Amino acid sequence: MEKIKVLVTGSNGLLGQNLTKILLRESDFHFINTSIEENSFFDLEEFLERFLLLPEDSQERISYETLDITNKENVKKITQKYSPEFIVNCAAFTNVDECETEKDLCWKLNVDAVKNLIIASRICNAKIIHISTDYIFDGKNGPYTETDTPNPISFYGRSKLASENALKASGVDFIILRTIVLYGSGNNVKPNFALWLVNELSNSRPVRIVKDQIGNTTHAEDLAYGILKVIEKFEGKKNVQQIYNIAGKDILSRLDFAYLVCDIFGYDRELITPILTSELNQPAPRPLKSGLITLKAETELGLKPMTARDGIQLLKFELGL
Ligand SMILES: NC(=O)c1ccc[n+]([C@@H]2O[C@H](COP(=O)([O-])OP(=O)(O)OC[C@H]3O[C@@H](n4cnc5c(N)ncnc54)[C@H](OP(=O)(O)O)[C@@H]3O)[C@@H](O)[C@H]2O)c1
């Protein structure tokens, strides 16, 4: 039987690299990683050395192409070349504060580029797996289910909601996966909340952490595993229009997450000063009482999200600390 073919965009990012690990380890799919950079950041050789039990053909199942998804013609060209059954969009403008000042760039990548993927997906009837966020909500009464009404309060949130709406209006098959506070490790990844914390605390630098932002935190491996389960569930299916929340198990404040990091990594809790979000004067407003309810993904996809403790322990292992 022919192997499932998956095209991944933004594969050099945090989620992209974690997805690469999961697909290599847990599937036999053929997948084409693409990102804006000339080379893949994922160290395949090192990974294969660590996982000696992987089948011999693992290296042949993965390839890399440079692809800027804002370039409509190139998106079409690569899609035509590989004719994938799924396109997983891990690329995005993810700096929430910069989105407030770089509105055109944000829209170009978070909305217009998704329209490029929609056009390309029609070439081969590919299903699009698109990653969205809790920032489509205002954070007044979380945690949220998949059917709650969005009301974004930042430009980033508006752009991500617009990308969801573009998919819904397109008529193509899609699965939107909403996630929240993604963290984990990878080569050259941007400092996510947990990595930044580890970096500061391990150097005994004091940090100010908000106590009024509540939600789940999500190890990128949990979301990557969710993507695998989505591919397995919807492979060969037609008329697929789905939304799933995929997030870590516990709903907690950023402050409590930071205390857990201290406990698990052995850092001094005294380095942390609890503050309010308003004290940070960030350009983009944040949803405060947020969180995503993952019941649908747990029942329909069989996911068992990590607790915050498990996720932080995994991060510690990944960092070799
Ligand atoms: N991080 C979070 O807390 C969070 C929370 C909720 C939802 N999400 C969503 O989760 C998804 C994955 O996020 P992430 O944390 O993995 O993001 P990330 O680490 O920033 O990865 C995004 C990747 O896309 C690449 N990219 C940028 N512009 C591109 C372009 N024009 N064409 C192709 N690739 C391009 C980036 O390259 P450069 O690094 O060179 O720009 C980066 O490698 C995004 O949709 C994000 O909105 C994230």
Confidence of residue 305 (pLDDT cuts 50, 70, 90): very high
Report yes or no on 263 lying in a domain.
no
Report yes or no on 226 lying in a domain.
yes
Specify the pLDDT at position 74.
Answer: 98
Between the CA atoms of 62, 67, 72 and 75, what dihedral angle is there, to the nearest 10 degrees?
-10
Verify cis geometry, omega within 30 degrees of 0, for the bond prior to 305: no
Report yes or no on 175 lying in a domain.
yes
Specify the pLDDT at position 57.
Answer: 76
Q: Probe ligand 1: pick from 9, 15, 72, 93, max atoms within 8 Å of CB?
A: 15
Report yes or no on 202 lying in a domain.
no
Mind listing the pLDDT tens digit for each residue in 33-43? 999 999 999 98
CB 55 within 8 A of CB 87: no
Report yes or no on 152 lying in a domain.
yes
Q: Tell me the residue range of the domain where 183 lies.
A: 5-190+216-249+291-306
Look up the pTM and report it.
0.97
Specify the pLDDT at position 21.
Answer: 95
CB 293 within 8 A of CB 143: yes
Query: Domain tally for the chain?
Result: 1
Average pLDDT, rounded, for the chain = 96
Confidence of residue 45 (pLDDT cuts 50, 70, 90): confident
> Hey, whose CA ends up nearest to atom 17 of ligand 1?
13
State phi, psi for 181 to the nearest 5 degrees: 40, 75
Q: Probe ligand 1: pick from 20, 36, 97, 160, max atoms within 8 Å of CB?
A: 36
Which residues lie across from 243 on neighbouring strands? 176
Mind listing the pLDDT tens digit for each residue in 112-149? 999 999 999 999 999 999 999 999 999 999 999 999 99
CB 137 within 8 A of CB 285: no
Report yes or no on 255 lying in a domain.
no
What string of DSSP letters covers 215-275? EE-EEHHHHHHHHHHHHHHHTT--S-EEEEE---S-EEEHHHHHHHHHHHHT--GGGEEEE
Report yes or no on 257 lying in a domain.
no
Specify the pLDDT at position 61.
Answer: 92
What string of DSSP letters covers 196-227? HHHHHHHTT--EEEESS-EEE-EEHHHHHHHH
Token pair in block for residue 200: 């500061």
Share of the chain above pLDDT 90, in %: 93
The answer to whether residue 51 scores a pLDDT higher than 90 is: no
Confidence of residue 2 (pLDDT cuts 50, 70, 90): confident
Nearest atom (ligand 1) to Cα of 193: 3
Of 178, 177, 176, 207, nearest in space to 193 by CA: 207
Specify the pLDDT at position 55.
Answer: 73
- For 68-120, the three-class secondary structure string (H helix, E strand, C coil) is CCCCHHHHHHHHHHHCCCEEEECCCCCCHHHHHHCHHHHHHHHHHHHHHHHHH
More confident residue, 49 or 153: 153
CATH value at residue 183: 3.40.50.720
Average pLDDT over residues 151-174: 98
CA 260-261-266 angle, to 5 degrees, is 105
Rounded to the nearest whole angstrom, what is the distance from the C-alpha of residue 151 to the centroid of ligand 1? 22
Mind listing the pLDDT tens digit for each residue in 251-288? 999 999 999 999 999 999 999 999 999 999 999 999 99
Average pLDDT over residues 164-186: 98
The answer to whether residue 52 scores a pLDDT higher than 80 is: no
Rounded CA-CA distance 82/6 in Å is 9
- Taking the alpha carbons at both ends of the chain, their separation in whole angstroms is 42
Rounded CA-CA distance 96/290 in Å is 16
Between the CA atoms of 28, 294, 179 and 72, what dihedral angle is there, to the nearest 10 degrees?
60
Pocket of ligand 1 (CB under 6 A): 9-10, 12-15, 35-36, 67-70, 90-92, 94, 109, 131, 133, 179-182, 189-190, 192
Collapsing DSSP to helix, strand or coil, 306 comes out as coil
Report yes or no on 268 lying in a domain.
no
Specify the pLDDT at position 1.
Answer: 66
Distances (CA, A) of 147 to 143, 144, 245: 12, 8, 10
Dihedral sign, CA of 127, 15, 32, 48? negative
